[in-house]
Structure 1
Amino acid sequence: MSDKPRVLLIAASTGSRLRNRAFGMKLPLLGYPATNLALVAAVTPESFDISIVDECFEPVPYGQGDIALITGLTHHMPNVYRIADRLRAEGTRVVLCGMHVTALPEEALDHADAVIAGEVEAVWPEVLDDYLHGSLHPRYEGRPADLGSLPLPRRDLVNRKFYHPGEVIETTRGCPVGCGFCNVQNFYGARFRTRPPEQIEAELMEVFGPRPPQARWKEWIARHWHADIPYFIEKRLLYVMDSNLMSEPAHARKVCEVFRRVDLRWYGHVSFNVARNDEMLDLLAESGCMSVNIGFESLNQATINAVGKHTNRVTEYAECVRKLHERGIGVMGTFIVGFDEDGPEVFDRIADFALENQLETAFTLILTPLPGTRVYERMEAEGRITSRDWQDYDHGSVAFTPRNMTPSQLHWGMRSCWKRIYSLRGIRRRILRRPFVRPFFFLPINLGFRKCLRLIVSDSIWQPPAG
């Protein structure tokens, strides 16, 4: 038994087994390790004994930590607070962090010995030093990390059996756009920060190593089935967790060159305006990009303008999807419903768009007034927020009064989109019809979401609002 102080780094879940499953946390290729905590572990001094706990997959080891750092999104916070209260009752010192804590630090302090507002890595060693000297402060201000000086994440502390067969990497932080419904800019800042490409390449080579020589049977599979399949067999798959890999095109080009040299397959988040640069699209394809997640958000340009997503042009959406499909890159589109301009017709419009343009996946989420965002501030001022239960801030619940529909219409309308898009007919129309963009990759994902559908539409898991 180690005599070092024991640190628990905990990623909290929703606290509901069924909601965890409904969100697809345990689906192949969609469950990702808590890389942010693996990075916090990397800056933790060696004088501490560290454990990373992902509560979605494993129970919190109560009674086994001296100090715990807990993180979670807004809809995780009721469960975060339950975990924190129990740990503190047992004598464990508790520090809370994350986007919600940054927005509402005083609330979080009711359940913690200390809170960290903002990024954790730069201030975490200071917090631990104060803990050792019995002088833990109630509040710490995190600082934007210098991404080039951060150590590699402690992947050795992550239980790989819980997650998809690939790896996760972060190459940038920050967002210059600042959409009204999003809290990424409030947390990471408006300045776009990048990791040096050579550091990214070194990390990927440490994780994956050189690509092995191709056996004849792999060459046969690549030639007769699909060139990607050997990469799946070799587990050379990468998810890029950046909010927008393409915010700085010059850096994005260098990163894509790194991906091409390392020789892997990857997918991640990009902005809509990537489709305006044919050279960049070609480079994406050459670098091994299988799919991109694009925040289309709305099919109404007035809404796009109102939320400040100045990169998006609704009239160019279909052309964007076509250009990506021509290069064999799938499109995972995200839409939000419940904006002030949205009426009950919005749901069929989104489903029609997803089906007609063959989006490989389409996520329709309910607008959520997350603390710290402009949407929250406006709805609070207008008296439209109807729920103060943070569990309802999960993009599947209605926590406010919509302007042009009833709360019940918004609740069931969002679910009608999912039902149409992930029906067997919808899957067939989007995935099993030309241009056939990587169906071996997207068909299992879609069938997984179809299994989630019965949970998403269940009124026992998400109780419909009145009215």
Structure 2
Amino acid sequence: MSEISRFDVIKPLHSIFLIAPAMDSKERNKAFGIKLPLLGYPAISLAMIAALTPDNIHVRLIDAANEPVPYNQPCDLALIVGQTHHIQSAYLIADRLRKKGVKIVLGGMHVTALPDEALEHGDSVIIFEAEAVWGNILDDFSKGSLKKKYFGPEVELATLPTIRRDLFNKKFYHPGEIIETTRGCPVGCHFCAVQNFFGSRFRVRPPKAIKQELMDIFGPRPPQAKWKKWLARNWHPDIPYFVEKRLLYVLDSNFVSEPVHARAILEVFKECDIRWYGHASFNLTRDESMLDLMAESGCIGVNIGFETLSGATINNMHKFPNRTDEYSDRIKALHDREIGVMGTFMVGFDEDTPKVFDQIADFVIENRLETAFTLILTPLPGTKVYQQMDSQNRIFSHNWRDYDFGTVTFFPKNITPRQLHFGMRHTWKRIYSYRSIWHRILKKPRFRSFFYLPVNMGFRKCTRLICSENIWPAPQETRPR
């Protein structure tokens, strides 16, 4: 594929808004906007679009979760990209801007799944990835001939420029940097929209480009002052890295899918002398040499989608890398290398019974996971779970604001919607109780408690918001109509 080009605009195009919408509930935004690892990071997809926009056009990146949309400021064209639970807010923003004469382009996973719905609120939609068609959109705008639909092909990441980090208002976000090194997922879990959007082909950024970007961000590590050496010697060797903000979040859904590339990236992280965390599939944990290299490269934690403790659910959801009987041993392998485990679980699968909530909490506490997210299974449009449940008339809410992984939108098989609602919250309460935090984070042997203790206290605060009936009311549905 040829290099992504930056088109020159002929017709006046002076100002573009790149908007990341928020949920239409300030309280829910507050719960998920806490500045903690895996939360509270900027929209780098929009920062990439900004990098592909000609320099003579003023670009403003607007994070609606943290700042108001400046409706009274001049804008010729707006691109709005959000997830399903953001989309109603995105539509409201689009409608208001259109009344002022702004041309609206909508994109993202939800728009890709339901483009005709989105076109009721926009002039154009981008289906799949935006980078390869953004230049065409600007060119068509300059000619006054925007198309209704733009189909973005899979982009080779080597052709992309560096994102516009200068557009981020860092006071809104977690004090670390974020980077993308791969795209695509070969697994194709039935509940996940990633493969539908990015495809099954695994694409990678060249290690040389990643190294250059990291050096531009962090630079060489400065000489260590005496007080930093004292902290490293008497508390933990990683403390100076946090003081210097040499902390990186790797956004990729599974950066180790291509082991040769993953090893090259880990060598880059090691050479850049940083601390980092990211996402990986469970099969990573079976590669002992990869785990060793991760530890050497400065990995402080990895988020793993365990999803469930049921082998039957693993098979039914096509989560083939996972083996539930290996979970505890592989968590120990990570802990032996002082790599924290951030586990993600879902509840509401067809095999789940009322026992599942305590089973997950027991597992997290007994295996001393550093953090754990328990989310409600959500039938996102375009996924196989959505298709199956829709065909069975099990979905009782098509209000997209409810598709936030904290709201029940369907009838489970072996539990009621209300049991699912309260059971998920029971799991959060147990995991982030003071007793659990003590056992998982502070009880010896322990590591990086200076990092994971405040993280857990932050999630304890998040738990209080998630469990508030004023913010997330329980569903009234008790059985299918």
Normalised by the shorter chain, which TM-score bucket?
Answer: over 0.9
- The residue that corresponds to 2:341 in the other structure is 331
Q: How does 1:258-277 map to 2 (within 5 A)?
A: 258-277=268-287
Query: Which string of whole-angstrom CA distances, capped at 9 and with x for unpartnered residues, describes residues 370-416 of structure 1?
Result: 00000000001111011010011111000000000000000000000
Tell me how far 1:27 sits from its aligned partner: 4.2
Query: Which string of whole-angstrom CA distances, capped at 9 and with x for unpartnered residues, describes residues 51-73 of structure 1?
Result: 00011111111132111000110
2:380 pairs, out of 370, 378, 385, with 370
CA contact 1:275–1:324 (8 Å) conserved in 2: yes
Q: How does 1:37-56 map to 2 (within 5 A)?
A: 37-56=46-65
- The residue that corresponds to 2:368 in the other structure is 358
For 2:22, the aligned partner's letter is S
1:57 pairs, out of 66, 90, 94, with 66
Identity, % of aligned positions: 62
Query: Which string of whole-angstrom CA distances, capped at 9 and with x for unpartnered residues, describes residues 328-348 of structure 1?
Result: 000000000000000100000
Are 1:136 and 2:146 an aligned pair? yes
- The residue that corresponds to 1:219 in the other structure is 229
For 1:454, the aligned partner's letter is R
Q: How far, CA to CA, are the matches of 1:79 and 1:354 in structure 2?
A: 35
Q: How far, CA to CA, are the matches of 1:26 and 1:292 in structure 2?
A: 18
Are 1:23 and 2:42 an aligned pair? no
Q: Which moved more, 1:29-38 or 1:309-318?
A: 29-38
Query: Which string of whole-angstrom CA distances, capped at 9 and with x for unpartnered residues, describes residues 123-167 of structure 1?
Result: 111101111110011110011111001000001111111111110
Query: Which string of whole-angstrom CA distances, capped at 9 and with x for unpartnered residues, describes residues 43-94 of structure 1?
Result: 1122311000011111111132111000110001111111110010111111
Query: Which string of whole-angstrom CA distances, capped at 9 and with x for unpartnered residues, describes residues 288-329 of structure 1?
Result: 000000000000000000000110000000011100000000
Alignment partner of 2:346: what SS? strand
Q: How does 1:83-98 map to 2 (within 5 A)?
A: 83-98=93-108
Alignment partner of 1:63: what SS? coil
- The residue that corresponds to 1:457 in the other structure is 467
1:257 pairs, out of 258, 262, 267, with 267
Q: How far, CA to CA, are the matches of 2:328 and 2:38 in structure 1?
A: 26
CA contact 2:34–2:462 (8 Å) conserved in 1: no
- The residue that corresponds to 1:198 in the other structure is 208
2:20 pairs, out of 1, 8, 11, with 11
- The residue that corresponds to 1:181 in the other structure is 191
For 1:6, the aligned partner's letter is S
Q: How far, CA to CA, are the matches of 1:37 and 1:136 in structure 2?
A: 20
For 2:242, the aligned partner's letter is F
TM superposition score normalised by structure 2:
0.95
Q: How far, CA to CA, are the matches of 1:432 and 1:267 in structure 2?
A: 20
For 2:87, the aligned partner's letter is M
CA contact 1:29–1:165 (8 Å) conserved in 2: no
CA contact 2:79–2:105 (8 Å) conserved in 1: yes
CA contact 1:41–1:154 (8 Å) conserved in 2: yes
TM superposition score normalised by structure 1:
0.98
Are 1:341 and 2:377 an aligned pair? no
Residue 24 to residue 106, structure 1, CA distance change in 2 (3 Å): same
Q: How far, CA to CA, are the matches of 2:115 and 2:400 in structure 1?
A: 15
Q: How far, CA to CA, are the matches of 1:304 and 1:239 in structure 2?
A: 27
Q: How far, CA to CA, are the matches of 1:29 and 1:229 in structure 2?
A: 20
Unaligned regions of 5+ residues in structure 2, if any? 1-11
Q: How far, CA to CA, are the matches of 2:307 and 2:239 in structure 1?
A: 32
Q: Which moved more, 1:62-71 or 1:355-364?
A: 62-71
Tell me how far 1:30 sits from its aligned partner: 3.0
Q: How far, CA to CA, are the matches of 2:106 and 2:309 in structure 1?
A: 38
For 2:56, the aligned partner's letter is S
Alignment partner of 2:329: what SS? helix
Are 1:230 and 2:240 an aligned pair? yes
Q: How far, CA to CA, are the matches of 1:234 and 1:79 in structure 2?
A: 37
For 1:45, the aligned partner's letter is P
- The residue that corresponds to 2:299 in the other structure is 289
CA contact 1:275–1:323 (8 Å) conserved in 2: yes
Tell me how far 1:4 sits from its aligned partner: 5.2
Alignment partner of 1:349: what SS? helix
Alignment partner of 1:123: what SS? helix
Alignment partner of 2:104: what SS? strand
CA contact 1:28–1:163 (8 Å) conserved in 2: no
Tell me how far 1:437 sits from its aligned partner: 2.6
1:432 pairs, out of 426, 442, 450, with 442
Q: How far, CA to CA, are the matches of 1:31 and 1:380 in structure 2?
A: 32
Tell me how far 1:29 sits from its aligned partner: 7.0
Alignment partner of 1:9: what SS? strand
1:302 pairs, out of 304, 308, 312, with 312
Task: Provide the aligned C-alpha RMSD in A.
Answer: 1.0
For 1:429, the aligned partner's letter is H
Alignment partner of 1:51: what SS? strand
Q: How does 1:89-168 map to 2 (within 5 A)?
A: 89-168=99-178
Tell me how far 1:425 sits from its aligned partner: 1.0
Q: How far, CA to CA, are the matches of 1:459 and 1:199 in structure 2?
A: 47
Q: How far, CA to CA, are the matches of 2:167 and 2:13 in structure 1?
A: 17
Alignment partner of 1:319: what SS? helix
Q: How far, CA to CA, are the matches of 1:25 and 1:455 in structure 2?
A: 11
